[in-house]
Amino acid sequence: MRARAAWIMIACALSAGLGCSDDESGTSAAQTTSTTTTVASTSTSSTGGSAGSPATSSSTGGMMGMGPGTITIQAQGLTGQEGWLLSAAVVEGTMPLARMCDTVSGGSASGVASEILPQMDTCQLGEPVIFDEGMYQIKGALYEPNCPAPCAPTLCVATDVTVAGNTTVTLPAFSMCVN
């Protein structure tokens, strides 16, 4: 039950948005592949800056790489964070539209942004979300394993991604979270 309470706090932190410092000495993050199933469309437009180095992204999809698609979020080079939890939300303004959740293994973690289900477990997600073309913000956080409730993230990152077909984004360097 204690672990479930910790994940509830993670969901609250991601829903409220996470602040990140400009300290670029954090851990760098990575890349993934995507599997698509359809779920929902969202409107586009987002504002917000990046923390650390810029994210990289690639798109594949319909004609000329344009059109709606999924967002795969990945982080690599996460040395010293083996077993930590990476949770990242695709947000528009302050509204989380989808989330991915994965445990760091071999220095990396990745997942496709999926439906946020109305239950207590932050990492139990629905089908991958199909996003309309446009720009979205991604807010990610790394949580130490067995973090006691209320669990606060240790490292954070925020970056923008443009969807033009199925898109993979590699998160930039993480930095210490700020309140």
The predicted-structure confidence for 5-44, as pLDDT tens digits, reads as follows 333 344 344 444 443 333 333 333 333 333 332 333 333 3
* Predicted pLDDT at 121: 79
Q: HEC string of 69-120?
A: ECEEEEECCCCCCCCCEEEEEEEECCEEEEEEEEECECCEEEEECEEECCCC
Q: What pLDDT was estimated at residue 159?
A: 97
Residue 179 and residue 177: Cα distance in Å, rounded? Answer: 7
The ranges of the chain with pLDDT < 70 are 1-65, 179
- Enter the pTM of the model: 0.68
pLDDT at 122: 80
Cβ atoms of 126 and 117 closer than 8 Å: yes
Distance CA 37, CA 77 (A): 29
Give the residue among 138, 174, 129 at the shortest CA–CA distance from 156: 174
Residue 17: the pLDDT is 43
User: What is the model's pLDDT at position 71?
Assistant: 98
Determine the pLDDT at residue 61. 45
Residue type, position 56, single letter: T
Taking the CB of residue 177, how many other CB atoms lie within 10 A of it? Answer: 20
Positive/negative CA dihedral, 47, 50, 51, 57? positive
Q: Residue 25 sits in which domain range?
A: 2-178
Whole-number pLDDT of residue 109: 98
Number of domains in the chain: 1
Two structure tokens written together for 75:
């982080």
DSSP letter for 139, please.
E
Amino acid at 128: P
pLDDT, residue 120, reads 72
